[in-house]
Structure formats: structure tokens, C-alpha cells
Amino acid sequence: MLGLDAVMGAHMPDFDARLSATAAEIDALLSQLLDDKPLPGEIARPSRLVRAMRHAVLGGGKRLRPFLLVESAALFGANRGSALLAGSALECVHCYSLVHDDLPAMDNDDLRRGRPTVHKAFDDATAILTGDALLTLAFDVMARPEVHADARVRAALVVELARAAGLGGMAGGQMLDLAAEGRFGQFTHGEKEVATLQAMKTGALIRFACRAGAILGQADVAELAVLDRFGAAVGQAFQIADDLLDVEGDAARLGKAAGKDAAAGKATLVSVLGIAGARARLAALVTEAEAALAPFGARAEILRAAARFTAARQS
Amino acid sequence: MLGLDAVMGAHMPDFDARLSATAAEIDALLSQLLDDKPLPGEIARPSRLVRAMRHAVLGGGKRLRPFLLVESAALFGANRGSALLAGSALECVHCYSLVHDDLPAMDNDDLRRGRPTVHKAFDDATAILTGDALLTLAFDVMARPEVHADARVRAALVVELARAAGLGGMAGGQMLDLAAEGRFGQFTHGEKEVATLQAMKTGALIRFACRAGAILGQADVAELAVLDRFGAAVGQAFQIADDLLDVEGDAARLGKAAGKDAAAGKATLVSVLGIAGARARLAALVTEAEAALAPFGARAEILRAAARFTAARQS
């Protein structure tokens, strides 16, 4: 996109390979979590719901949030297997949000990553339950002893994930996004309103990914603050890149319709700042994200590459 | 209903007062949890979503699940304030399930406790997000330090609640319930299939309530098993009473339409066993629930009264 790669410096030579390798590990974990054998405390796993959840979760995806979690955790020497499990819980939350956002009552999308959305492949009721069950599974997984030996860490992750995903985070952001379409009357599309909306709708979960790695690695307060700043900047960059892709991307590469945001009257920073303004903001956010990691020196290079990748991605 | 009160012995003299008092405490906690001030880790609380969540949660209700949790916890000397907080988390899960089940794509109900359902008072998208945010809030609350000083207890409660509510519990049960209407092709309505469906759809959360009290009170394995048996019997009794009410109840008292189950082709034990058979099963389940508590003697009388109340309730 736009030669941003050249502007911001090349990726790490092995970045793409590491991103793909982590995605494959997350895919394998998600597939294990969603087999049809009930766990202790479960009564039965209805096959239709298992199939719909697998459809929602195993349709590809870069697994960017789990990658950020895993690499943030690695910075503090946390166990990789534990970080992958926490990352798969986080990915369940992300996938649930896509399933519900795609519903006819919400954004009414038929395609996601080039495949039929869950309510198209199954039906609306099944899609609602699929999202519900994925969200629930996320907390089950996050609280399991395999995520961390210290239960205080698991409980803290559960609370942080819930705040990032709920009323004051992602779900609240989707509410504001629907309001920004004018569904419930007037909405002011100022830069401040759009920034809040985006910090909630997409920023909160990406920020959580980075914080969660630090929490898993039992980072100290100053280190957690660094990952928080990094995650907040990457979260904003992610959304601006997304908004630019919607304006400039092509549908084949996106696996979904382009130009939908403008058609739906969505509030984006592109509509507030213009394309050139949004590109400049994006570059500044990547610089800010990279700079935040200065205390970690070269050890954090993979996270810097992740910030650049987030801004330069083409789908 | 049916003179069951007489058959099974009178309630404890102060049972109704204790149930109402706990309900008032739960209402107060839920109202506090759903004010409009963001908590640490939250960005903002959109007012429309707060209002819809309050509509979903504060419309009355007997708070039977929290009551079972609180009284089970009291049996083991657990802190009452902690049990009430855990109970309010559980009630959020129950209320989320009602909001999503009422949606047009699911059971399509316009009334709940005599008031418009969330999607009628607001709209479908807001109702989906309301359920999502309530489910998320439940895990936030359950994992908070105020629920128990020992984080292992909180993490265990999160895992148990998720298993009771998710794919292998309540959400899976709702999937089976829709299948039982014939939406996705043939479904066998045998007694075994209906029992599994009901154990998941309504039984799991009631059983969790009783187990959660024991877990909060750090009961030993044998004591937990007793509460598990009690909760499983009460959960079955609750659903049969519900099915009988749908056949025999009147809409004014129920606050919703009666006779809807049969009209929707729902699978119930009344349709499998007949009314007389279902009444006999209900009486046997209450006896079983009461007998399970024998090891606790008179101290468990309030829970026995709760079992009788569950079977004899008229709404």
C-alpha cells in the first residue's frame, strides 16, 4: 500500500515467516479447542454449533492479535505454550465479534475472508449462538491453569480481557459505530468522537494483546506501561490502515466488499482527515509505536516489525 | 400450581421474605455494576448500551440463581457480600441469555416479565450487543478480587461458569432447542434427547449456582458432590415446572404468552411424559433434591425450601 514499506523501512527479513508460523500454531490450538468431545463440566457439544464455531474461527486470518500477545510475552521470557493458549482465547473473542458484526441486524455482510459469513453458511440464530459460545470459550480458556501457574495472573487476564471486549471496550465501540451511521439520531463525526469509537471498537483488543503479554510475563509497572503505549499506537494504526484499505483496497484481496464504510456512512479518520491526512497520521503512529519500545532495544525488533506490518498490510 | 405446595409440605415461614431480600440486594448490585462511569481499563460507556443493559437486567425477576448461589455459599460459611457479587455475575449470564433468546431470529418474543423485550424497546442490533456486553461483564465481575481473596477460587469459578454457559452448556442447549423445532431437519424428541437439551439449556446454570456456592465456601469434594446432586435435581425440576406453566399458566401472571412451546413445536418433558407424568416426575425431583441435602441436616432447610419453591412457583 502506497509504498509505506519504503517509507518506514523494510520488514525484518524473517517477519512474514514468524507471523505465519505463529498463525499455524494458533490454528492448531483453535482446532483442538473446538473438537466435539465435551470437557469436564460440559454435557454435550452439539455438532451444528461445533461446525459453525469452526467455520467462524478456522477460515484463515493472520492471527495478528495472538502474534502481538505471544511476542510481547516473549519479551519477558514467558512460556510460549502458555502465551499461545492465551492468544487463542483472544482470537476467539475477535472471531466472535466478526460473526456478530456480520449479522443482518448489524453490518449485514455476506463475505468474510472470501468465504460466506456464518449466518450465510448456516443461519442467523446459529450465528448468534456461535458468537455467544466463542466469547464464552475465550474466558474458559483464559482462566485455565495451563495459561499460568499463578491464578492471580489468570484472573487479572480475565478482568482485562472483559474490560477490553465489553461495554467500555469493543462491544461499546460497535454500539458507537452503529450510532455513527445515524441509526439512532444525530451523531457528531468529529475527530475526537471517531478516535474514541475506534479506540473501543478495534483498539482495545489490540492494546489488550500487548498488555496481556506483559502480564503473562509478570512485567513490572513501567514495562507494562511501555507495552500499553505500544499497543495503543498499534491499535490506532491498525484501524487507520483498515479505513484506507476500505477506500483504496480491492475486493479480491480484501475478501470482502471495498467502499462499504463510506456507503454505510461509517465514521472513519479518513472521512475526518482526508486520505493524505490519514496516511500522515498512520506514519506518525508507527514511529510512535517503534519509539515506545526503545527501553527494550533490539530485543523488541519483532514487535517493531509487527507495527510496520500492521500499517502496511494489504488485506 | 396443582396443590403441589400441599403435597410437598409448606414453605419455610420466612422463605419468601428471604428470597425477596436477596433479590433486592442483587438488584442493587446490578444497578451499581451498570452505572455510566467507566472502570479502569474501560474507555467510555455508551449511554444507549448502558440503558439497554439496565432494561435487560433490572426488569424484576426472582433472582433464583443468585439466591441458590448465596444460600449454598452460606452453608459453608462464605462471606455473604462475595457470594452476592458472584450471584450478580451469574444473573448477568442469565439475563444475556434471555435477551438473545428473545430475538426475532431465535424465539421472537415481544414480552418478558410483562415488559417489552430489549429488541422491541430498542432494536435488534442493540439487543445483540446488550447480550454480548452482559455476558462479558459476568466474567469481569466473577474474576474480581472482591469475589474471593484466593485467585484460584475465582479462576475456578470462571472456568465452571463458562462451561455451564457455553458450547457444552446453555448456548449448546439453545442450539438443540432450535433443532428440536425442526429448523435444521429431523430431530428425535425422545425422553433422553429432551433431558439432555434441558440439562444444557436451563439445568447447567442452576447447577452451577449450587456448585459455585460450594466452591466459594471452599467445600471439600464430598460436599461439592452433594451440592452438585442438589443443583442437578433443582435444575430439572425448574424446567419441568416451566413446561407445565407454559401448558397450564395464564399469560397475565407469566408476563409472557402461554402455550408458546407447543405452538413452536418445542421439545418438553410434558410432550414426552404427558401432564400427569410430568407432575409425578417433578414431585420425585423435589424429593431427590431434598434428600441429597441430608448430610447438612436442618442447616440446609432454606435450600430445601428453594427446591419446593422452584417446583411450585406460578410464574
Residue A113 falls in which region: left (phi positive, over 0), alpha (psi -120 to 50) or beta:
left
From CA A147, how far away is CA A144, in angstroms rounded? 6
Candidates B129, B154, B175; nearest CB to A171:
B129
Nearest partner of A15 among A64, A79, A84, A55, judged by Cα: A64
- The segments of chain A whose pLDDT lies below 50 read 1-10
The predicted pLDDT at position B188 comes to 81
CATH code for position A43:
1.10.600.10
- The tens-digit pLDDT sequence of chain B (315 residues) is 444 444 444 468 899 999 999 999 999 999 999 999 999 999 999 999 999 999 999 988 999 999 999 999 999 999 999 999 999 999 999 999 999 999 999 999 999 999 999 999 999 999 999 999 999 999 999 999 999 999 999 999 999 999 999 999 999 999 999 999 999 988 888 899 999 999 999 999 999 999 999 999 999 999 999 999 999 999 999 999 999 998 887 655 555 555 666 666 677 889 889 999 999 999 999 999 999 999 999 999 999 999 999 999 877
Nearest partner of B69 among B157, B169, B163, B172, judged by Cα: B157
pLDDT tens per residue, range A89-122: 999 999 999 999 999 999 999 999 999 999 999 9
Nearest partner of A169 among A128, A135, A218, judged by Cα: A135
| Residue A2 located in a structural domain | no
- Residue A157 burial by CB count (10 A; 0-12/13-18/19+): exposed, middle or buried? buried
The answer to whether A175 contacts B49, with C-beta atoms less than 8 Å apart, is yes
From CA A165, how far away is CA B129, in angstroms rounded? 11
B4, B281 Cβ separation under 8 angstroms: no
From CA B220, how far away is CA B207, in angstroms rounded? 17
Q: Which domain holds residue A245?
A: 24-312
The residue type of A127 is A
Q: What are phi and psi of A257, to 5 degrees?
A: -65, 140
ipTM: 0.94
| Residue A28 located in a structural domain | yes
| Residue B166 located in a structural domain | yes
| Residue A11 located in a structural domain | no
C-alpha cell at B191: 425422553
C-alpha cell at B188: 428425535
Q: Provide the 3-class DSSP secondary structure of residue B112.
A: strand
Residue B250, C-beta contacts closer than 8 angstroms, at least 6 positions apart: B258
Nearest partner of B2 among B234, B286, B298, B241, judged by Cα: B241
pLDDT tens per residue, range B185-239: 888 888 999 999 999 999 999 999 999 999 999 999 999 999 999 999 999 999 9
| Residue B6 located in a structural domain | no
pLDDT tens per residue, range B124-159: 999 999 999 999 999 999 999 999 999 999 999 999
From CA B177, how far away is CA B181, in angstroms rounded? 7
| Residue A12 located in a structural domain | no
The predicted pLDDT at position A261 comes to 67
Query: Whole-model pTM?
Result: 0.95
Residue in chain A nearest B208 by alpha carbon: A41
- Residues belonging to chain B: 315
In A, residues 115-174, which contact B (CB 8 Å cutoff)? Answer: 123-126, 128-129, 131-133, 135-137, 139-140, 142-145, 150-152, 154-156, 158-169, 171-174
Chain mean position to CA B73: 17
Candidates B106, B142, B162; nearest CB to A125:
B106
B147, A147 Cβ separation under 8 angstroms: no
The predicted pLDDT at position B259 comes to 63
The answer to whether A136 contacts B135, with C-beta atoms less than 8 Å apart, is yes
Residues of chain B with Cβ-Cβ distance to A50 below 8 Å are: 167
Q: At what angle do helices B15-33 and B80-101 cross, to 10 degrees?
A: 80
In B, residues 215-274, which contact A (CB 8 Å cutoff)? Answer: none
Helices (H), chain B: 4-8, 15-33, 47-57, 64-75, 80-101, 118-121, 124-142, 151-165, 170-180, 191-198, 204-216, 221-248, 251-254, 260-263, 269-292, 301-312
Q: Provide the 3-class DSSP secondary structure of residue A108.
A: coil
From CA B51, how far away is CA A168, in angstroms rounded? 13
C-alpha cell at B14: 420466612
The answer to whether B42 contacts A168, with C-beta atoms less than 8 Å apart, is yes
Q: Provide the 3-class DSSP secondary structure of residue B181.
A: coil
| Residue A3 located in a structural domain | no
> How many structural domains compose chain B?
1
C-alpha cell at B18: 428471604
Residues of chain A with Cβ-Cβ distance to B96 below 8 Å are: 132
Nearest partner of A283 among A237, A228, A231, A226, judged by Cα: A237
Residues of chain B with Cβ-Cβ distance to A48 below 8 Å are: 175, 179, 184
Nearest partner of B15 among B76, B71, B59, judged by Cα: B71
Site from B167, B176, B197, B201 to mutate, A interface, most A CB atoms within 10 angstroms: B167
| Residue A254 located in a structural domain | yes
Site from A35, A39, A43, A201 to mutate, B interface, most B CB atoms within 10 angstroms: A43
Residue B133: half-sphere exposure toward Cβ, Cα within 13 Å: 32
